[in-house]
């Protein structure tokens, strides 16, 4: 199975909290993605990192802050979120930024109170 590991699996936070989502991959793929998925909707792209550099930001509010410390790790820092930000946050990887074949992690289910 594809090794894309996301932590935590579940997160509940208040609107004033600061938290982080983490993603780790062991495939050696050079493109890493953050997606947001609401119930009954397709995944919605947030950010793309290519070779550890941010290449796409889909006009995401600044309360979401991505970070790619190295080729295996991807973080999403969360601050001052709103209840409407509650969703499943999916990390994905691919061989390249537009290689097509995306492999998703299990996701972090976020609830903002």
Partner 1 sequence: GENVEQHPSTLSVQEGDSAVIKCTYSDSASNYFPWYKQELGKRPQLIIDIRSNVGEKKDQRIAVTLNKTAKHFSLHITETQPEDSAVYFCAALRVGGNEKLTFGTGTRLTIIP
Minimum CB distance to partner 1 smaller for 30 or for 79: 30
Cβ 20 to partner 1, closest distance in Å?
Answer: 20
* Measured distance CA(13)–CA(5) in Å, rounded: 21
Is 105 one of the binding residues for partner 1 (CB under 8 A)?
Answer: yes
What's the distance, CA 76 to chain centroid?
6
Is the separation of the CB atoms in 10 and 16 below 8 Å? no
Task: Please report, as residue ranges, which positions from 13 to 72 form the binding site for partner 1 (by CB under 8 A).
Answer: 40-43, 45, 48, 56, 58
Cβ 44 to partner 1, closest distance in Å?
Answer: 8
Is the separation of the CB atoms in 89 and 34 below 8 Å? yes
* Binding-residue total with partner 1 (CB under 8 A): 20
Is the separation of the CB atoms in 22 and 81 below 8 Å? no
The footprint of partner 1 (CB under 8 A) covers: 40-43, 45, 48, 56, 58, 90, 97-107
């Amino acid at each position: 199975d594809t090794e894309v590991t996301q932590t935590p699996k579940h997160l509940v936070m208040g609107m004033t909290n600061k938290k982080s989502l983490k993603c780790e991959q062991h495939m050696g793929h050079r493109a890493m993605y953050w997606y947001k998925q609401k119930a009954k909707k397709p995944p919605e792209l947030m950010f793309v990192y290519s070779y550890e550099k941010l290449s796409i930001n889909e006009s995401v509010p600044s309360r979401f802050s991505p970070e790619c410390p190295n080729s295996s790790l991807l973080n999403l820092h969360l601050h001052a979120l709103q209840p409407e930000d509650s969703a499943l946050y999916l990390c994905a990887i691919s061989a390249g930024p537009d290689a097509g074949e995306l492999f998703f992690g299990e996701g972090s289910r976020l609830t903002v109170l």
